[in-house]
C-alpha cells in the first residue's frame, strides 16, 4: 500500500477527535491497546487482519495521547494555585520564549521551577504567561524571580477561545507584572544556545528591515520574511481577512522553498557535492524554522521539505501526500490538541485541497492543451486559488463567520505580488547584511510593491459582494 501513512494519520486523528467526545477510562483503553498489540504479534500473519489491527491501534494511540496531554503532573503549577486566589506568589524560573512588546505590554512565557507562597516553597513545573506593563530588556533563557498574583486566562462567557488557545500550548495561568520591583533578575543564562542564537539572528534581521523601510512596509515585510506579525496594524490585518489574503502575512511553504532554493544555489556556486548540499540545506531550513518562531505552517513546510530532501538523498520518489502526513503526524504526536487549532487546520487543509483539487480542475479544463502561456499562467493561478478557497471555505465560515467570494480574485492578483515582495524582502535582508547601499536601492521598489499590494487589497474589499458576515 503506497499511502499507508495517510490512512494511519486519519485513524490517529479520529482517535484525537474521539478523545474529545468520549470519556472512556484511560487504563481501559491502554489495556485494550496492549491486548491488540499482543494479538497482532501473535496472530497477525494475515495481511488484512494485521492492517485492521494496526489502524485500530493508531486510533487508540491517538485517543491515549490526547487524554494523556490533558493530565497535568502533580507538580504542575496549576495544581498548586487555588481558583480566584489573590495571594502574592513568588515564581522562580527561566524565560522560554522571546519576549515580545505588543499592545504596550511585554509578553513572554516563564518555565517555572519553584513557587513560593508566604514562607512555603515548593518545587514545581509548568509554564506561565507573563504580561508586563512596561518594557524591559529581557531575553530568551534569562533566569528570573517574579512576584505577583496568578490569574486564569479570561474566558469571555461561552466562548473560551483565548483560554483554549493558551491551554493548547500548555499555559493555564497568567501573571501580570505592573512594577519594576516585582522582578529580580538572576545573572545567568539558562536556555539552549542554538535557540538564543536564532532569536538573536531574527532580531538582527528585523533591524536590517527596519533600517531600510518605514514602519508600515517594514512591519509587513517582517511578517512575510521573518514571521513577525506583532507590528502589523489592525486595519491592514482586518482588510486582509476580509479579502481572504491574510495567509500572505505568515511564513509558509513558499518562504521555506525560497530559502532552500537560495542555499542550494549558493552551495552549487561553491561547487559542493549533492549529498553535502542536501544536508546543509536541511540544517539551514531547521535554523529558518527556529528563526520564524516554529509556528504550525513553518513546521509543516519544513517537515515536508525535509521529507523531500531525504527522498532525493536516498534516490526515492517523494510523495506529496506522505510528506504532508508526516508533517501533520510530527506536530500531532508532540501535541495532539493542535488538531483543534484553526491555524493548523487551515494550513494543512489548504495544501491538501490544492494537491487534491488542482490536478482534477486542470484535467477538467484541459489546461495542457492551452497554447497562450500568459492565459495558462493566469488559469493556473485561478485554479490554485479556487482549490484553496474551496478547501478552506467551510472552516473559515464556521470559525470567522465570514464568506468572501472576492478571495479567488484577490488571491490571483495579490499572491503573485506577495511572491515578488517576498523575493524582494529576502534580497533586501541579504543585501542589507552584505552591502547596505544596495539595500537602500532595493528598499524603494519593495516599498512601492507593498504600497501597491495594500491599495489593491483596499480596492478589492470595496467591490460589491466582496465579503459578507454570516
Partner 1 sequence: MLNFTPEERKITLFLLSLALCGLVLNNLIKVNCRIERMVYPPIQLARLNLNKVNLAELAAVKCVSAVLARRILEYRDLRKKFNSLEELKEIKGIGDQRYSKLKELFYIE
Per CB under 8 A, residues contacting partner 1 are 103-104, 214, 216-217, 233-236, 238, 261, 265, 268-269, 423-424, 427, 438, 440-445, 447-448, 450-451, 454-455, 458
Nearer to partner 1, 198 or 442 (CB): 442
Nearer to partner 1, 14 or 342 (CB): 342
Closest CB to partner 1 among residues 327, 447: 447
Nearer to partner 1, 1 or 269 (CB): 269
Least distance (Å) between residue 212 CB and partner 1: 11
**Nearer to partner 1 by C-beta: 104 or 159?**
104
Contacts of 96 (CB under 8 A, 6+ apart): 109, 110, 111, 127, 140, 191
- Least distance between partner 1 and beta carbon 241 (Å): 11
Nearer to partner 1, 329 or 424 (CB): 424
State the first-to-last Cα distance of the chain, in angstroms, to the nearest integer: 43
In the complex, the smallest distance separating the C-beta of residue 134 from partner 1, rounded to whole angstroms, is 12
CB of 435 to partner 1, least distance (A): 11
State in angstroms the smallest separation of the CB of 133 from partner 1: 9
Residue number, 105 or 113, with CB nearest to partner 1 = 105
Query: For residues 70 and 261, which CB has a smaller minimum distance to partner 1 in the complex?
Result: 261
Q: In the complex, what is the shortest distance from the CB of residue 171 to partner 1, in angstroms, rounded to a whole number?
A: 22
Nearest distance, CB of residue 276 and partner 1, angstroms = 18
Least separation in angstroms between CB 424 and partner 1: 6
Amino acid at each position: 500500500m503506497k499511502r499507508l501513512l495517510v490512512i494511519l494519520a486519519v485513524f490517529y486523528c479520529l482517535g484525537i477527535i474521539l478523545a474529545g467526545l468520549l470519556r472512556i477510562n484511560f487504563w481501559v483503553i491502554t489495556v485494550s491497546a496492549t491486548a491488540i498489540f499482543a494479538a497482532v504479534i501473535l496472530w497477525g500473519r494475515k495481511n488484512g487482519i494485521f492492517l485492521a489491527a494496526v489502524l485500530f491501534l493508531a486510533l487508540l494511540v491517538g485517543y491515549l495521547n490526547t487524554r494523556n496531554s490533558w493530565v497535568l503532573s502533580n507538580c504542575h503549577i496549576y495544581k498548586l494555585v487555588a481558583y480566584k486566589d489573590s495571594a502574592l506568589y513568588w515564581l522562580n524560573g527561566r524565560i522560554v520564549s522571546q519576549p515580545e512588546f505588543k499592545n504596550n505590554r511585554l509578553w513572554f512565557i516563564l518555565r517555572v521551577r519553584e513557587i513560593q507562597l508566604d514562607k512555603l516553597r515548593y518545587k514545581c513545573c509548568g509554564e506561565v504567561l507573563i504580561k508586563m506593563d512596561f518594557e524591559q530588556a529581557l531575553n530568551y533563557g534569562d533566569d528570573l524571580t517574579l512576584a505577583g498574583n496568578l490569574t486564569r486566562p479570561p474566558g469571555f462567557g461561552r466562548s473560551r477561545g483565548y483560554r483554549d488557545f493558551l491551554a493548547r500550548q500548555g499555559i493555564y495561568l497568567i501573571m501580570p507584572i505592573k512594577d519594576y520591583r516585582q522582578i529580580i533578575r538572576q545573572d545567568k543564562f539558562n536556555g539552549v544556545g542554538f535557540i538564543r542564537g536564532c532569536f538573536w539572528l531574527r532580531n538582527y534581521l528585523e533591524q536590517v528591515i527596519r533600517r531600510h523601510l518605514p514602519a508600515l512596509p517594514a512591519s509587513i515585510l517582517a511578517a512575510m520574511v521573518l514571521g513577525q506579525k506583532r507590528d502589523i496594524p489592525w486595519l491592514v490585518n482586518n482588510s486582509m481577512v476580509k479579502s481572504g489574503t491574510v495567509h500572505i502575512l505568515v511564513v509558509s511553504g513558499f518562504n521555506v522553498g525560497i530559502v532552500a532554493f537560495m542555499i542550494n544555489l549558493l552551495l552549487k556556486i561553491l561547487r559542493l557535492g549533492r549529498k553535502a548540499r542536501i544536508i546543509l540545506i536541511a540544517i539551514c531550513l531547521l535554523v529558518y524554522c527556529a528563526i520564524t518562531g516554529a509556528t504550525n505552517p513553518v513546521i509543516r513546510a519544513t517537515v515536508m521539505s525535509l521529507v523531500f530532501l531525504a527522498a532525493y538523498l536516498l534516490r526515492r520518489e517523494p510523495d506529496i501526500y506522505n510528506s504532508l502526513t508526516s508533517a501533520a503526524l510530527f506536530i500531532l504526536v508532540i501535541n495532539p490538541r493542535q488538531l483543534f487549532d484553526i491555524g493548523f487546520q487551515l494550513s494543512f487543509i489548504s495544501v491538501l485541497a490544492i494537491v487534491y483539487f488542482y490536478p482534477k480542475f486542470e484535467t477538467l479544463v484541459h489546461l495542457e492543451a492551452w497554447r497562450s502561456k500568459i492565459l495558462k499562467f493566469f488559469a493556473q493561478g485561478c485554479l490554485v486559488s479556487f482549490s484553496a478557497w474551496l478547501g478552506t471555505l467551510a472552516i473559515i465560515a464556521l470559525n470567522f463567520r465570514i464568506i468572501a467570494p472576492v478571495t479567488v480574485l484577490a488571491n490571483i492578483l495579490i499572491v503573485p505580488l506577495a511572491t515578488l515582495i517576498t523575493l524582494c524582502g529576502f534580497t533586501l535582508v541579504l543585501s542589507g547584511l552584505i552591502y547596505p547601499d544596495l539595500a537602500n536601492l532595493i528598499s524603494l521598489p519593495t516599498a512601492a510593491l507593498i504600497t501597491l499590494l495594500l491599495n489593491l487589497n483596499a480596492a478589492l474589499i470595496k467591490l460589491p459582494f466582496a465579503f459578507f458576515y454570516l
